Amino acid sequence: MNNLLFYVHFSRENQLNPHIIYQLEKLKTVFSEVFFISNSPLTSDDKRLLEDKKLFTYFLQRDHVDNDFSAWADGMREIGFENLKKYDSVTLMNDSSFGPIFNFHSLFKEMNSKEGDFWGLTNMRAQELELSENQEKVLLPDYIQTHFISFKKKVILSTAFEKFWSNVQPLTEPKEVLMNYEARLTTYFKELGFKASLVFDTRKESLKEMTAEDFSRFNLSANLEHGVPFLKVEAFAIGALNSTLPTTIEYIKQVTSYPTHLIVDYMTWFDYPDRPYMLNDKMIQVGGVKKYENDVKIGIHLHVFYKDLLKHFVNLFDQYVGSYDLYITTDTDESKSIIENALIGKVNVKSVLVIGKVGRDVLPWMKIHKQLSKYDIAGHFHTKKSQENLWIVGESWRTDIEKQLIEPAKQIFEEFQTNPHVGLVIPDVPAYYQSNFGPLLTDEEKLWNHMADLWTSTDFVSDKGLRKQDSYVMSFGTMVWYRPDALDNLLSLEIGEKIPQEPLPNNSILHAFERLLVYVAWGNNYDFRIAHSVSYNGFWGNSSPSLALRQLLRDGEDLTNLIVKDETLKVNLWKALRLRDIIALFLAKMKYIIQTKRHKD
């Protein structure tokens, strides 16, 4: 069949993202001709990429941004309405969705064989629209949502089709576009006797647990259930903290061939970098090297407080890192002398500096940072122990980091080499915290002022904004591999006067610093990865909510009756599978418990 697609692209950053390329490649198998219309400037490289992949037949670069309808109409005028009549179908689409998730070729064939003259994926129920505060609400009829709508031959041949599209004007106000075009289109053609059909008729669905009536944006689960092949980008931002979204991503992986990293990679910049549903796609499953070439310059900072671990770390670096330069910091002149004597003959040791006893490993790292800025990849490590806990806690914590960051170092370097957008690699949550629970929101709350102050003091080219959360994705222990420019502005700050003397309180500026690394790298246009080497069963995490509740009870919170009475909350708490993946969800529930109790008190 001779099928034509009008495809409208828009990007505020003037970028052609990989999920768009993937989408066009799949659409090319269904449509004999594609008219690509860009409502934002397209670089010559991006246009050449489209040309090389033969992803369009016609191309239109528009000089102004108004609305999709105006762009589609311009495309039709470009081809000519008379010439449109040779096509068996004319489909209109924009780039506001991910997909196709399911087999689009078979769906398109099925929908074109069904009764109906035009069809879409989803619809909106009749609703009242408030144009402005001073005007009465306008009643909109139910209508097919136009991020995808396809017209069959009967409609294309009609005078009504040309009449509608030749009268489209370049409106810029979204409500005017909705009222005059999107909501009107379905009724316009139905009143002329044309029949509409849908992949998913949302009018038949219950609105239970819906926060809005728009299923395309507020109910990804229902879209998947009904086989909708294109999922709205906005839905992943709106539902970013929904407890079912990680499950939704896993379902897509299990039953479709759609590469979910396209969703995660794009939403990292469109939304925020640490959403729970993203984390599995940001894992490096360490355990092998495929393509790493030792042509990158590696610089390592090691802060030595516990000198008995010095040779242990140096031996690990020698065994697993390859060629590297080592910068050591320590606390006293006596420690410096011991370190220098222990490392006599190590030509790759560039310096041993005494920083003092303030700032633990962070301030020394900040002092040595400029020397590390000349390397392609830098590492920050310290002789980790956990004196406030049992020996096994600190020992297993440090061993986890060694297994996840040092032993697979070359595989991590390969990730940096193959993905220029990755600027930071952190270890996974230590085993101790996976089997117990991480920082509680009551503790995180105390760190926010420090985090906000550090963030506002950091000079970003384009500040994306730091969000206050109940938990943060971070390197427990602050050991990382990174590109120096990913953290340069944070590491260049002067915070020495703000660091308290030992013993440190749990709400110190150093604890705030530890939580900022992922977000500062993101603010500098770098993504992060989590190095993961050990598989923990899901039952570990099941105990975490109970342990956290017991901790609150030990702290004086009487929550017993509330937990028993609130069955909905009880069910939600027990949904936790692994602390790493659900820490944000769980802590949000804990916040609800505390706030509810305080309200009752």
pLDDT of 486 over the 50 cut: yes
- Of the candidates 1, 7, 124, 136, the one whose C-alpha atom is nearest the C-alpha of residue 72 is 7
Q: Is 478 a member of any domain?
A: yes
In terms of pLDDT, which residue wins out, 294 or 207?
207
Helix, strand, coil shares of the chain, percent, nearest 5, are 45, 15, 40
Mean pLDDT along residues 411-434: 92
pLDDT band at 601 (very low <50, low <70, confident <90, very high): very low
Q: Is 386 a member of any domain?
A: yes
Residue at a domain's end among 535, 555, 583: 535
Using a CB cutoff of 8 Å and minimum separation of 24, what contacts does 393-396 make?
Answer: 393/432, 396/430, 396/431, 396/432
What integer pLDDT is reported at residue 569 of this predicted model?
A: 41
What integer pLDDT is reported at residue 434 of this predicted model?
A: 76
> 438-473: per-residue pLDDT in tens?
777 778 899 999 999 999 999 998 778 999 998 899
Do residues 258 and 100 touch, judged by C-beta distance below 8 A? yes
Same-domain pairing of 528 and 545: no
What integer pLDDT is reported at residue 211 of this predicted model?
A: 85
Same-domain pairing of 472 and 572: no
pTM of the model: 0.87
At 116, the amino acid letter reads G
Q: Looking at residue 47, which CATH number applies to its domain? A: 3.90.550
In the block, residue with structure tokens 């971070």 = 474
pLDDT of 413 over the 70 cut: yes
Mean pLDDT along residues 425-435: 86
Do residues 78 and 59 touch, judged by C-beta distance below 8 A? no
Same-domain pairing of 552 and 513: no
What integer pLDDT is reported at residue 584 of this predicted model?
A: 46
How far apart CA 424 and CA 379 sit, in angstroms, is 10
Same-domain pairing of 484 and 596: no
Dihedrals φ, ψ of 413, to 5°? -65, -35
pLDDT of 477 over the 50 cut: yes
Residue at a domain's end among 171, 206, 241: 206
pLDDT band at 258 (very low <50, low <70, confident <90, very high): very high
Mean pLDDT along residues 92-109: 97
Mean pLDDT along residues 341-346: 94
Sequential DSSP letters for 566-596: -HHHHHHHTT---HHHHHHHHHHHHHHHHHH
Same-domain pairing of 379 and 527: yes
Q: Is 185 left (phi over 0), alpha (psi -120 to 50) or beta?
A: alpha
Q: Is 375 a member of any domain?
A: yes
Same-domain pairing of 530 and 544: no
> 527-576: per-residue pLDDT in tens?
999 998 766 655 555 555 666 666 666 666 554 444 434 444 443 443 33
The angle subtended at Cα 127 by Cα 129 and Cα 241, nearest 5°, is 90
What integer pLDDT is reported at residue 544 of this predicted model?
A: 59
Same-domain pairing of 515 and 386: yes
Same-domain pairing of 562 and 514: no
Least confident window among 78-87, 301-310, 426-435: 426-435
Residue at a domain's end among 182, 206, 230: 206
pLDDT of 250 over the 60 cut: yes
Show the domain range for 84: 3-206
Q: Is 229 a member of any domain?
A: no
Least confident window among 36-40, 138-142, 213-217, 307-311: 138-142
What integer pLDDT is reported at residue 15 of this predicted model?
A: 92
How far apart CA 576 and CA 586 sit, in angstroms, is 7
Q: Is 236 a member of any domain?
A: no
What integer pLDDT is reported at residue 579 of this predicted model?
A: 40
What integer pLDDT is reported at residue 123 of this predicted model?
A: 97
Same-domain pairing of 515 and 544: no
Q: Is 239 a member of any domain?
A: no
Q: Is 303 a member of any domain?
A: yes
Q: Is 248 a member of any domain?
A: no
Same-domain pairing of 574 and 451: no
Burial 249-286, CB ≥16 within 10 A → b, else e: bebbeeebebbbebbbbbbbbebbbbbbbbbbbbebeb
User: What percentage of the chain exceeds 70 in pLDDT?
Assistant: 87
pLDDT of 582 over the 60 cut: no
Over the chain, what is the mean pLDDT? 88
Same-domain pairing of 513 and 550: no
Q: Is 44 left (phi over 0), alpha (psi -120 to 50) or beta?
A: alpha
Q: How many domains, the chain? A: 3
Mean pLDDT along residues 266-275: 96
Same-domain pairing of 458 and 572: no
E strand or H helix that includes residue 349: strand 349-354
